A = this chain, B = another copy of it.
């Protein structure tokens, strides 16, 4: 079944997921059971959203974190489904915010059904995530997921606030990506550990691992937005910049380019371009900004793998390390 959910770089992820493959299948079924509606129109939307499911990275983090510290149980299947549905909700709303027409080579909900339906469908998904979370035996996950989605929304709001801000600092950029991406991956690992019975220190260690890995993941995602090919990413290209969001390579370039190039790039970010076209890629090459961003991502991956040293030497720990290292080589 892994081949169904992974559409590129399959071999790499099949290897990483081998240990948890039967659990991933269980999670898929929990998601399908939760995202059910008796109304044909809503049911069709659920089916469309199902096509967005890609790498199942967040469920894998929950499951591998559980496996690494004590073993996976039914709660992990529920939690893994919850975080994937939260993730799907953010994708559906992000596509509205970015006016994106494709996602994983499929048309987005906003493209096929309009923004109104897409906003409501994102709400439907987030509601089902919390509903499913409410089926667990205690409130710890519900409270933690709630706190995390608070942070995700704040991160996204701060990002919007900094759109077209050519003076955005690296610090603000890291605030944004910690909020919108790393907080959820950190929570995946923390909950995986906690529901396997880990003590508070271990839960904290796993959260740190997930925060660092998620930060690295988002940096690479932002680099791929500037450099990737549409075929491999399955989404429209250069969306961040087109919407005035300056990510790490752009921020670095703005600080290090020649005065003329800097002025051109800043004007572009502000959506007040001084010329008809700007060769962004060549500007980024001149300042080594892609390499710089990858170096920063590599340091976060090192931090993540360093945290894993506190865990017993198990195949699950190896898989978590490989997932963190995979971030730097992924093409999608």
Binding site for B on A (CB under 8 A): 37, 39, 41-42, 45, 93, 96-97, 115-117, 119-124, 126-128, 130-139, 142-147, 149-150, 152-154, 156-158, 160-161
Contacts and interface: CB of A to CB of B under 8 A. Distances in A.
B142 A124 contact: no
Given A39-B157, A139-B136, A157-B45, A149 B130 contact: yes
Interface centre among A39, A137, A145, by most chain B C-beta atoms within 10 angstroms, is A39
Contacts of A116: 96-97, 160
Contact of A93 (B45, B123, B132): B123
B143 A42 contact: no
A250 to B, nearest CB: 20
Given A115-B115, A160-B116, A133 B124 contact: no
A293 B123 CA distance: 30
Contacts of A124: 150, 153-154, 157
B157 A134 contact: no
9 closest residue pairs by CB, A with B: A131-B146, A134-B143, A124-B153, A127-B149, A134-B142, A41-B161, A130-B146, A130-B130, A134-B146
A146 to B, nearest CB: 3
A286 B264 CA distance: 65
Contacts of A130: 130, 142, 145-146, 149
Given A120-B97, A161-B41, A127 B153 contact: yes
Interface centre among A97, A128, A130, by most chain B C-beta atoms within 10 angstroms, is A130
A120 B179 CA distance: 13
Nearest to A147: B131
A191 to B, nearest CB: 13
A74 to B, nearest CB: 15
A157 B97 contact: no
Given A131-B146, A132-B146, A157 B119 contact: no
A41 B138 contact: no
B119 A131 contact: no
A95 to B, nearest CB: 11
Given A131-B149, A143-B134, A39 B154 contact: yes
